[in-house]
Amino acid sequence: MPWQAQAPDGIRVLPVQLPGREERFTEPPHTDAATAVDEVYARLAGKLRDGAPVAVFGHSMGAVLGYELARRLEADPRVRFERLVVSGAPGPWTRRTEQAHTLADDDFMARVRTFAGYTHPALDDPEMRELLLPVLRADVHMHETYLPSSARPLSVPVTSVRGRVDQLVSAVEAAQWSRATTGKLTTPEVAGGHMYLTGSADRLLELIAAELGTTGEAVRR
């Protein structure tokens, strides 16, 4: 939501809010990527049919959701879809060898911290952790069980952003997105680790604007 006020000129940010978050906190979270993307597409499609160029942005798990959403938008003749921007993610067919979603709570949290190299302070509060854990588990389950819906690549350009010291996603893995498109792939790196964007949204938005030529819409998961 804060990105709406931070966006450079020429970009309108449309945040995507999944169940289990903020105003939708009481709704059960999705555990299946296809179901999540069905809902996101239904909510967004009507807002994107005004002729403005559209891009999709997704970080980590959001990258695979963004990829599936991009497939829907590219096939929609009423949408002027121009670019997919993914961040902190290997190619969509690459799955972690060590998974977390089946672990007991303490082991699950430890594994997630290792994966991300980051933890939100709210998870240190027992009451907040109890509230947030089901959503986090659902997200991890959705990410770890995800399989691409098709082997057919996109035709639009893809930008794969990576934190320069990301210990979870290597530069080689970030470059795997070349197989996800017949268009051009760019692989910019920015300062920071896997969760670099938590403290550098302005810089990321400027990078996205540059990739888009300062026009279009950025859709953030």
φ/ψ of 46, rounded to 5, equals -65, -25
Q: Domains of the chain: which residue ranges?
A: 3-220
- Per DSSP, helices labelled H in the chain are 3-6, 33-44, 61-75, 105-116, 126-144, 171-174, 201-212
pLDDT at 217: 53
CATH for 3-220 (3.40.50.1820, 3.40.50.10490, 3.40.50.300, 3.90.1150.10): 3.40.50.1820
* Maximum pairwise Cα distance, the chain: 48
DSSP 8-state assignment for residue 150: -
Residues carrying an active site annotation:
60
Q: Global pTM?
A: 0.87
Give me the tens of pLDDT residue by residue for the chain, a chain 221 residues long: 889 999 998 899 999 989 988 888 889 999 999 999 999 999 998 888 778 899 999 999 999 999 999 999 999 999 999 999 999 999 999 976 667 767 777 777 777 777 766 666 777 777 777 777 888 888 888 888 899 999 999 999 999 999 999 988 999 999 999 999 999 999 999 999 988 988 778 889 999 999 998 644 555 44
User: What 3-state class would DSSP assign to 17?
Assistant: coil
pLDDT at 215: 46
pLDDT at 201: 87
d(CA 154, CA 75): 10
pLDDT at 216: 45
φ/ψ of 156, rounded to 5, equals -80, 160
**Residue 108 has which token pair?**
């699950």
